[in-house]
Amino acid sequence: MSSLKSFPIEDSKKKIRDELDKLKAKGLTEPIRSHLHDVDCTWRYGSKPDYTIADYEFITGKTQNHSEGSLEKIVEDLVKTWEMESSHKSEVNEWKTIEQEDGVYHLSANNWKSYDKKEAIIAGNYNVLMHGCPKSIWDTESYSFEDSHHLIRNSFKAFPWEVLKVLSPPPTVTFTWRHWGKFTGNYKGNEGKGELLEMFGFAIARVSPDLKIEDIKIFYDPDSFIQALEGKTDAKELSCAKKLIGDVSCPFISKS
């Protein structure tokens, strides 16, 4: 993959789309976001989002290439569709990835506050998933939906996410995941230098027979990721899930 060209964000999306088509012809799979072309919904920013750049960064940066029909690909596409709806559809009753019956759908991280659908759409995913962070790291109470999304979008031109491995099938799906981005932007005054920032975790999702999400519990370490954005932690410390599982490169006795 090192021979592939890296396109700056200002390049034409047609050029990137053409490159994406070449990569797909080599067997690399592109995300399928169901309901992206819905016309009977309220788009938060006036129109459906364009994922051309995000998909290019995903395909050229992912560590897995799940085959169509595999449980990993099904879960990956479901979560990506859910993320699209929760970030870009401003009316929660129009989300087609979740169980709409009141009181069923909930989202939480690290056993912190569990948000129902009405709370989640007001707070936004970033605030929900960082609810329990120290305020010096992330102040959920102070950041609006737009504030939280601006902080991340201002840091990365794309912030891809992938499923690593599914450990248990529906109705209770347990899986590991990876989130990453090249820090080319600015986070609260700290300028990125293009370093790769990675985040790893696992999730437990309960789904209905027709794969509507009823509950998602995310487990990960957000603090070290934000500290890397602030320039307080070396990006290399985030690689290979070191901050999540610890240093398992050798026996402890060899580290002294």
Write out pLDDT tens, residues 15-40: 999 999 999 999 999 999 999 999 99
Coil, strand or helix: which one is 106? strand
Give residues with Cβ within 8 angstroms of 15, minimum separation 6: 7
pLDDT at 10: 52
Token pair 């290439």 in the structure block, residue: 65
Range of the domain at 105: 13-245
pLDDT at 249: 80
pLDDT at 3: 42
User: 199 and 220 in contact (C-beta within 8 Å)?
Assistant: yes
User: 81 and 35 in contact (C-beta within 8 Å)?
Assistant: yes
Residue 216: inside a domain, yes or no? yes
Residue 1: inside a domain, yes or no? no
Residue 4: inside a domain, yes or no? no
Angstrom distance (rounded) from CA 29 to CA 177: 17
Residue 151: inside a domain, yes or no? yes
User: Among the residues of 36-104, which ranges form H helices?
Assistant: 52-61, 71-88
| Tens digit of each residue's pLDDT (9 = 90 or more) over 63-111 | 999 999 999 999 999 999 999 999 999 999 999 999 999 999 999 999 9
Flag residues of the chain having pLDDT under 50: 1-4
Residue type, 36: L
Counted domains in the chain: 1
pLDDT at 244: 86
pLDDT at 1: 40
Residue 96: inside a domain, yes or no? yes
pLDDT at 4: 46
- Domain with residue 150: its CATH number is 3.10.450.50
